């Protein structure tokens, strides 16, 4: 059984008071409503991580995650946050290579490979984002494009380390646009990625990897997406800022 993961990506939203209120609501409602088989992650801005982490009691399947880390462990990189810093406050999940980082901060596949290596070496789980632009989708080369993102950033890993990765497929044209990939489009890509992993490693390894879908996932489309055989969870932007919507997505797994 692959891990079911619903990860919120708060991006650069909320002030401290709003962050505390949102996290408290999610933790409180999840306790009553979300099955313990679903892992919930709230990827908050860095400055709230430590405070929110302390709100979560031991043994709950809820985590705070970071949205990024630097490629180096320390040094003269004013304003940056490193993997060992995150490890030192007990962070377990870190988003890597979100399309906004790739687009606005020029992050490339080689740098992301370094971040993935660092996170694994510090015992954290990278949530590796991949996904194509609308132009690439229209050109019909999306499967090759996204498979190549995995090849260049992840396929240097040993099978043992690869098994620690979570993948998030986020078609850029669906992020924050209200337009979602259809469940068939998501399944096609997720299956292609799983086959790609099986070709490089083994089917056993590929079958262990949780592949999340991201891009305007909402309570009204989550059930259909999560019902697909290779869609194991979601990476949620906008809807993760509303506790009710976030929890309703986490309750949308079939059966
Ligand atoms: P969205 O964002 O749910 O607001 O489309 C998803 C993401 O960017 O991770």
CA distance 255 to 248: 14
Bridge-based pairing state of the strands 93-96 and 4-9: unpaired
For the CA of 95, the nearest atom of ligand 1 = 9
What spacing in Å lies between the alpha carbon of 174 and ligand 1's midpoint?
8
pLDDT tens, residue by residue, 108-139 = 999 999 999 999 999 999 999 999 999 999 99
CB atoms within 10 A of CB 246: 27
Under 8 Å CB-to-CB from 67, ≥6 apart: which residues? 9, 10, 11, 43, 44, 45, 46, 94, 95, 98
Pick 177 or 7 by higher pLDDT. Answer: 7
Flag whether the pTM goes above 0.75.
Answer: yes
Does the C-beta of 9 come closer than 6 Å to ligand 1?
Answer: yes
Does the C-beta of 43 come closer than 6 Å to ligand 1?
Answer: no
Does the C-beta of 131 come closer than 6 Å to ligand 1?
Answer: no
For the CA of 239, the nearest atom of ligand 1 = 3
Residue 211: pLDDT band by 50, 70, 90 thresholds?
Answer: very high
Burial of 104 (0-12, 13-18, 19+ CB in 10 A): exposed
Does the C-beta of 82 come closer than 6 Å to ligand 1?
Answer: no
Residue nearest to atom 9 of ligand 1 (CA): 237
Residue nearest to atom 6 of ligand 1 (CA): 237
Does the C-beta of 123 come closer than 6 Å to ligand 1?
Answer: no
Q: Which residues are the active-site residues?
A: 98, 170
pLDDT tens, residue by residue, 6-56 = 999 999 999 999 999 999 999 999 999 999 999 999 999 999 999 999 999
pLDDT tens, residue by residue, 55-95 = 998 888 999 999 999 999 999 999 999 999 999 999 999 99
Residue 140: the pLDDT is 96
The yes-or-no verdict on residue 255 having pLDDT over 90 is: no
Residue 15: the pLDDT is 98
The yes-or-no verdict on residue 148 having pLDDT over 90 is: yes
């Amino acid at each position: 059984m692959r891990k079911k993961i619903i990860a919120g990506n708060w991006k650069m939203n909320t002030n401290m008071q709003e962050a505390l209120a949102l996290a408290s609501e999610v933790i409180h409602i999840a306790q009553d409503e979300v099955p313990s088989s679903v892992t919930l992650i709230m990827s908050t801005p860095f400055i709230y991580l430590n405070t929110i982490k302390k709100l979560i009691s031991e043994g709950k399947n809820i985590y705070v995650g970071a949205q990024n880390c630097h490629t180096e462990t320390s040094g003269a990189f004013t304003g940056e946050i490193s993997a060992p810093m995150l490890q030192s406050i007990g962070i377990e999940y870190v988003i890597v290579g979100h399309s906004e980082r790739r687009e606005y901060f020029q992050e490339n596949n080689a740098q992301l490979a370094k971040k993935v290596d660092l996170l694994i070496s510090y015992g954290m789980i990278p949530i590796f984002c991949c996904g194509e632009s609308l132009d690439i989708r229209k050109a019909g080369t999306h499967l090759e494009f996204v498979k190549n993102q995995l090849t260049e950033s992840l396929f240097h890993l040993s099978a043992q380390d690869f098994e620690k990765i979570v993948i998030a497929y986020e078609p850029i044209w669906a992020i924050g646009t209200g337009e979602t990939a259809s469940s068939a489009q998501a399944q096609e890509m997720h299956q292609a990625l799983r086959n790609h992993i099986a070709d490089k490693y083994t089917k056993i390894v590929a079958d262990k990897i949780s592949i999340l879908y991201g891009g305007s996932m909402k309570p009204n489309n989550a059930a259909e997406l999560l019902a697909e055989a290779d869609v194991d969870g979601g990476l949620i932007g906008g809807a993760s800022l509303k506790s009710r919507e976030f929890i309703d997505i986490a309750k949308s797994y079939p059966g």
